[in-house]
Amino acid sequence: MIVNMSESATEQEIQHIIDRVREAGFNPHVTRGATKTIIAAVGAGGRRHEIESLQAAPGVENVVAIAAPYKLVSRQTKPHRTIVHVGDVAIGGPQVVVLAGPCSVETREQILETAHAVKAAGASMLRGGAYKPRTSPYEFQGLGEEALKLLAEAREQTGLPVVTEVMGTEDVDLIGDYADMFQVGARNMQNFALLRRLATANKPVLLKRGPSATVKEWLLAAEYLLSGGNPNVVLCERGIKTFETETRNTLDLAAVALARELTHLPVIADPSHGTGKPALIPPMSRAAIACGADGIIVEVHPCPERAWSDGPQSLTIDAFRNLMQTLSQPLRPVAVGNGTIRLGQAASAD
Ligand code: PEP
Ligand code: MN
Listing DSSP states for 39-87 in one string gives: EEEESSS--HHHHHGGGGSTTEEEEE---SS-TTTBTTT--SPP-EEET
Residues in the chain: 350
Q: How far apart are CA 75 and CA 162, in angstroms?
A: 28
pLDDT band, residue 236 (cuts 50/70/90): very high
Q: How far apart (Å, rounded) are the C-alpha atoms in residues 341 and 204?
A: 42
Instruction: Check if 79 has its Cβ closer than 6 Å to any atom of ligand 1.
Output: no
Asked if pLDDT for residue 347 goes beyond 80, the answer is no
Task: Give tens-digit pLDDT for 162-187.
Answer: 999 999 999 999 999 999 999 999 99
pTM of the model: 0.94
Q: Of 327, 330, 310, 293, whose CA–CA distance to 123 is shortest?
A: 327
pLDDT of residue 341: 67
Q: Whose CA is nearest to atom 3 of ligand 1?
A: 103
Weakest mean pLDDT among 38-52, 193-207, 227-241, 266-280: 38-52
Per-residue pLDDT reduced to its tens digit, 99-129 = 999 999 999 999 999 999 999 999 999 999 9
Residue nearest to atom 10 of ligand 1 (CA): 186
| Continuous segment of H or E residues that includes residue 262 | helix 253-262
Q: Which residue has the higher pLDDT, 85 or 338?
A: 85
Ligand 1, closest atom to CA 297? 2
> CA–CA separation, 242 vs 28, rounded Å?
40
pLDDT of residue 272: 98
CB 158 within 8 A of CB 127: no
- pLDDT tens digit string along 132-158? 999 999 999 999 999 999 999 999 999
State whether the beta carbon of 208 lies less than 6 angstroms from ligand 1: yes
Strands 295-299 and 334-336: unpaired
pLDDT for the residue numbered 144: 97
Looking at residue 111, what is its pLDDT?
98
Ligand 1 pocket check for 133: Cβ under 6 Å? yes
What is the residue-averaged pLDDT of the chain? 95
CA distance 297 to 310: 14
CB-proximal residues (5 Å) to ion ligand 2? 103, 310
Choose which residue among 99, 125, 184, 273 to substitute to test ligand 1 binding: the one with the highest number of ligand atoms within 8 A of its C-beta.
Answer: 273
Q: What is the pLDDT of residue 349?
A: 37
pLDDT value at residue 340: 67
pLDDT higher than threshold 60 for residue 309: yes
Check if 186 has its Cβ closer than 6 Å to any atom of ligand 1.
Answer: yes
- Is residue 333 scored above 90 in pLDDT? no
The atom number, within ligand 1, closest to the CA of 187 reads 8
pLDDT score of 44: 87
- Please compute the mean of the pLDDT values over residues 176-203 and round it to a whole number: 98
Whether the per-residue pLDDT at 280 is higher than 60: the answer is yes
Overall average pLDDT of the 65-85 stretch: 94
Q: How far is the CA of 270 from the centre of ligand 2 (A)?
A: 10
Taking the CA of 309 as reference, the closest ligand is: 2
Nearest C-alpha to atom 1 of ligand 1 is from which residue?
103
Q: Is 273 in the pocket of ligand 1 (CB under 6 A)?
A: yes
Q: How confident is residue 344, by pLDDT bands cut at 50, 70 and 90?
A: low
Q: Give the whole-angstrom CA distance, residue 128 versus residue 294.
A: 20
